[in-house]
Structure 1
Amino acid sequence: MTPIHEDEHLLVLEKPSGLLSVPGRGPDKQDCLSKRVQAIYPEALIVHRLDQDTSGLLLMARGIEAQRRLSRLFETRQVKKRYVAVVAGHPAQTQAEQAPDEEGWRTIDGPILLDWERRPIHIIHPDGKASRSRWRVLDTGQTATLIELEPVTGRTHQLRVHMQSIGHPMLGDSLYAPPEIKALSPRLMLHAQELAFPHPFTETWMAFQTPTKWSASCPYLTI
């Protein structure tokens, strides 16, 4: 895989939808982004993950010290991530009681817990880990909405669970959308579009984008 950016300490890559970030269980789940990258950069180490069905920007470290420093940036929330998604319905209408801020952002707070009997599905539950996501509308169609999302915390499936929890699952979502919503797209309509962080060694601010041409109107997938 060809990085969008590489230097002696890190790699920034674009993961396609359908590819695992790391190996899964079983021989049929060994092909993944980390293995493909390590075939070219043997020292590359994973720092964070994207869901298999999510596309977009992913960061890898080159060496143990770079991994340690980058992991610390994630832990201290110095890494800024933004996603785009197409969701069913019109969340700005159903969430109208929550006024957006001056930039149009609204917030979802919902503790997330793994549902062990239905894993890998996660649910909103009082015993879950505190989770917060921000979202705002980019474009509105007749039956769907293009939104921008910003995870404040980094829980598994967080953005998918949070949007489903307010009644607006993502199109093409095989885990959290009902069959009629899943069927509207051949893939999960969630893309990690922006990634920004201070370089772990130089502290230079790094910012990357991989824009989409997605729309809130059918056909939803245009790339």
Structure 2
Amino acid sequence: MTALTNKTFSFIAEDVDKGKRLDLFLVERLPELSRTHIQRIIAAGEVTVNGKAGKANYKLAPADYVTIRLPEPKPAEIKAEAISLDILYEDEDIIVINKPRGMVVHPAAGNYEGTLVNALLRHCDRLSGINGVSRPGIVHRLDKDTSGVMMVAKTDRAHLDLARQIKERTAGRKYVAIVHGNIKENQGIINAPIGRHPTDRKKMAVVFTNSKEAITTFQVLERFGDYTLVECRLFTGRTHQIRVHMAYIGHPVVGDPKYGPGRQRFAIMGQALHAAELTFQHPVTGERMSFTVPLPDDMRAILEELRRR
């Protein structure tokens, strides 16, 4: 990929791309843009193939020269708010933060204030516009009640590169969770596709139709009889992935209001799941970076109680 400007990118089709639709070709190279979004950009005349306006269903030939101009994002209507941020690292391209449990990442219906995006808009002079006005800078998400380390992109260039690393699984994401039950295996791999729950559309589930590949590995850190402390690593990034996968194998995350048992023993507002470590390559300098954050107080309190038993 060659960056012509901050908003225009070019690609050269290779032999393996022969016969591939133009929109699918661009989805593969710009993974943070949905196929629908790319089709709109194509329809607006912002994509060319060999200097001529392209069509979404155009079949590529080797050496085709494709350019796409990303439209400037509309000014964000989400208001900036003076919300404290736990910043682990910041430069001109990225910002890495430790998100507290209870903070929503970006505004959505019924929740337009108090989010990480509201705080970022106040703190940063600029944020990547690739994900639109409601999610500026957001490369990946953490659920509202999942705490831990997140990376945010200040520029589109940084955003695209970080998203590529997540897609290609070169960025590492390690989580720590307290789950129900005694996991007998010391480690394991959960390779089970995730999609919308067939009857409850607000939930995700392991389903084998209309689903996407989902891979989680786990390693037992400590056992407490009725509970287990585990480390989980993500190799894909599906919605609620760890929560769904752990429930699928019979060990839901403690405190999980959506996938866990109804009655909760511990004083925790939400699931006992923490993004403990994030490793990636800086999108501009190429430096390998790693950030680790300790468990929040509520999870430490649960572990202390379990260890006293």
TM-score, scaled relative to structure 2:
0.64
Find out whether 1:129 has 2:219 as its counterpart.
no
Find 1:77's aligned residue among 158, 169, 184. Answer: 169
Tell me the residue number matched to 1:219: 305
Tell me the residue number matched to 2:30: none
In the TM superposition, what is the alpha-carbon distance from 1:116 to its structure 2 partner?
Answer: 6.0
Structure 1 residues 51-85: Cα deviation after superposition (integer angstroms, max 9, x where no partner): 11100001001122211221122121111000000
Three-state SS of the structure 2 residue aligned to 1:133 is strand
Name the CA shift for 1:89/1:196 in 2 (closer, same or farther; >3 Å). same
Find out whether 1:10 has 2:94 as its counterpart.
yes
Name the CA shift for 1:8/1:52 in 2 (closer, same or farther; >3 Å). same
In the TM superposition, what is the alpha-carbon distance from 1:214 to its structure 2 partner?
Answer: 3.1
Tell me the residue number matched to 2:202: 120
- Asked if the contact 1:86–1:215 (Cα under 8 Å) also holds between the matched residues in 2, the reply is no
Tell me the residue number matched to 1:196: 279
Structure 1 residues 111-131: Cα deviation after superposition (integer angstroms, max 9, x where no partner): 101126423211111112111
Who wins on radius of gyration, i.e. which is larger? 2
In the TM superposition, what is the alpha-carbon distance from 1:218 to its structure 2 partner?
Answer: 5.9
Tell me the residue number matched to 1:49: 141
How far apart, in 2, do the equivalents of 1:90 and 1:30 lie? Answer: 40
What are structure 2's unaligned runs of at least 5 residues?
1-84, 128-136
Tell me the residue number matched to 1:87: 179
Three-state SS of the structure 2 residue aligned to 1:39 is helix
Find out whether 1:37 has 2:120 as its counterpart.
yes
| Equivalent residue letter for 1:83 | Y
How far apart, in 1, do the equivalents of 2:303 and 2:156 lie? Answer: 45
- Asked if the contact 1:142–1:217 (Cα under 8 Å) also holds between the matched residues in 2, the reply is no
Q: Between Structure 1 and Structure 2, how many residues are aligned? A: 208
- Asked if the contact 2:167–2:236 (Cα under 8 Å) also holds between the matched residues in 1, the reply is no
Find 1:179's aligned residue among 239, 262, 267. Answer: 262
Tell me the residue number matched to 1:149: 232
Structure 1 residues 184-211: Cα deviation after superposition (integer angstroms, max 9, x where no partner): 3423100000000111111111000002
TM-score, scaled relative to structure 1:
0.87
- Where relative contact order (Cα < 8 A, 6+ residues apart) is larger, the structure is 1
Three-state SS of the structure 1 residue aligned to 2:229 is strand
- Asked if the contact 1:135–1:148 (Cα under 8 Å) also holds between the matched residues in 2, the reply is yes
> What percentage of residue pairs aligned between the two structures are identical?
34
Find out whether 1:22 has 2:106 as its counterpart.
yes
Tell me the residue number matched to 2:49: none
Three-state SS of the structure 1 residue aligned to 2:158 is helix
Find out whether 1:167 has 2:253 as its counterpart.
no
How far apart, in 2, do the equivalents of 1:25 and 1:117 lie? Answer: 22
How far apart, in 1, do the equivalents of 2:303 and 2:275 lie? Answer: 20
Structure 1 residues 4-40: Cα deviation after superposition (integer angstroms, max 9, x where no partner): 10111100001111111111212x4432112211211
Three-state SS of the structure 1 residue aligned to 2:230 is strand
- Asked if the contact 1:140–1:216 (Cα under 8 Å) also holds between the matched residues in 2, the reply is no
